[in-house]
Amino acid sequence: MIEDISLKVWKGLVALIRRRLSDGSLARAFPERDCPDGDSITGTDEVTFFDALDAHVQDLPVLPLSTAAAVDATVVLDIIDFMMLHIDQPTRRTSHDFFGHTHYAFDEPMVINAGNSSPNTGQEQFARDVDLLFARNGIAFTIGDNRFVTRLAPVEARSLVSEFEPHTGDPILDDKLTDALARFLSRRPAARQDALEKLWDAFERLKTLELEEGGTKKESVTRLLDDAAPSSPQLRDVIEVEFHALTGIGNRFAIRHHERDAEQLPDDDTRDYLFVRLVSLVAFVLRRTGRMAG
């Protein structure tokens, strides 16, 4: 899967946007009222639409929907977010033949807050169209349940990430793990580095789950490993080796420590690999010790 938006994909997105500009899907948010007989919505005010888009999206090209060249992926995804915030679908279209235009009516409640309400019909259809375009072209993004563009996890980790719901009995640890997973799916590379650092912080806290008063982290880890593999000493050894290996990785690379001699991770593929490796271990231990919801 790729995270760049090619010119071909950009042209496809522009076609989807132009269709919505012309079919009334954006007319409630940016109404044009050109009917001399009344105040009916007759289309989309494109001047207002593009002014609002320019205010919403940083580094928007001078000609926002030009397909002469590819557009930076960050800009493209911000445009999609903007569309999802404002798109709708008319429930009635009435032709006003005398003036040669159409009246648009909207019966569904207008969605104001994308995260706290059900999507309207227009949002659902636009999301399906964008997701299909991305899937056909191997683009590693999707429109999430919150109706903002999010990154798809690597294929090998999708079920793990989607089903990861910690219930450790330690609310701080649960929050750290949940936050790390959310950041991992961010479309912004800087957030993925944050995700890795937060996951390693959570790993260190995980090691103290079995900590008793006056005890040590090492003793807590021993009990945790015993609980995770009570009937298989060889499996316990494998898990312990992985604990030590990932602890060492967190210390050697710029994950938990950022001294000048800490080696920087070379690229996002490496971040993904290390994140998936550690979250797989954490999920396994939590499931084996009854600390995963469901």
pLDDT confidence of residue 32: 85
DSSP tag of 292: B
41: β partners? 104
Instruction: Tell whether 195 and 265 lie within a shared domain.
Output: yes
**Pure H helices in 87-185:** 121-136, 158-162, 171-184
pLDDT confidence of residue 39: 63
pLDDT confidence of residue 293: 86
Instruction: Tell whether 55 and 119 lie within a shared domain.
Output: yes
pLDDT confidence of residue 124: 94
pLDDT confidence of residue 109: 63
Nearest-angstrom CA–CA distance, 85 and 30 = 12
Instruction: Tell whether 172 and 261 lie within a shared domain.
Output: yes
Instruction: Tell whether 166 and 263 lie within a shared domain.
Output: yes
Q: Which two tokens stand for residue 215?
A: 């005890």
Phi and psi (nearest 5°) for 67?
Answer: -110, 25
Nearest-angstrom CA–CA distance, 60 and 71 = 9
Instruction: Tell whether 268 and 247 lie within a shared domain.
Output: yes
Tell me, yes or no, whether 86 lies in a domain: yes
224 CA to centre of own chain: 32
Instruction: Tell whether 111 and 202 lie within a shared domain.
Output: no
pLDDT confidence of residue 111: 60
Nearest-angstrom CA–CA distance, 9 and 139 = 9
Nearest-angstrom CA–CA distance, 271 and 294 = 28
Question: Which residue, 98, 129, 150, sits at the end of a domain?
Answer: 150
Tell me, yes or no, whether 77 lies in a domain: yes
Instruction: Tell whether 146 and 163 lie within a shared domain.
Output: no
Instruction: Tell whether 226 and 171 lie within a shared domain.
Output: yes
Question: Which residue, 115, 150, 185, sits at the end of a domain?
Answer: 150
pLDDT confidence of residue 101: 67
Cα dihedral across residues 67, 11, 184, 242: positive or negative? negative
Can you say whether residue 88 is alpha, beta or left, with left for phi > 0 and alpha for psi between -120 and 50 degrees? beta
Tell me, yes or no, whether 232 lies in a domain: yes
Tell me, yes or no, whether 60 lies in a domain: yes
Nearest-angstrom CA–CA distance, 287 and 104 = 53
pLDDT confidence of residue 35: 65
Instruction: Tell whether 222 and 261 lie within a shared domain.
Output: yes
Instruction: Tell whether 47 and 168 lie within a shared domain.
Output: no
Tell me, yes or no, whether 1 lies in a domain: no
pLDDT confidence of residue 114: 53
Please give the average pLDDT of every successive group of 10 residues along the chain, which has 294 residues.
Answer: 92 97 91 71 90 94 92 96 91 62 72 65 94 96 92 88 93 97 89 94 97 94 97 97 97 83 88 95 97 85
Instruction: Tell whether 159 and 270 lie within a shared domain.
Output: yes
Tell me, yes or no, whether 274 lies in a domain: yes
pTM of the model: 0.79
Q: Structural domain tally of the chain? A: 2
Instruction: Tell whether 12 and 146 lie within a shared domain.
Output: yes
HSE-CB of 115 using CA atoms within 13 angstroms: 2
Tell me, yes or no, whether 114 lies in a domain: yes
The residue range of the domain holding 29 is 7-150
pLDDT confidence of residue 174: 97
Question: Which residue, 125, 150, 175, sits at the end of a domain?
Answer: 150
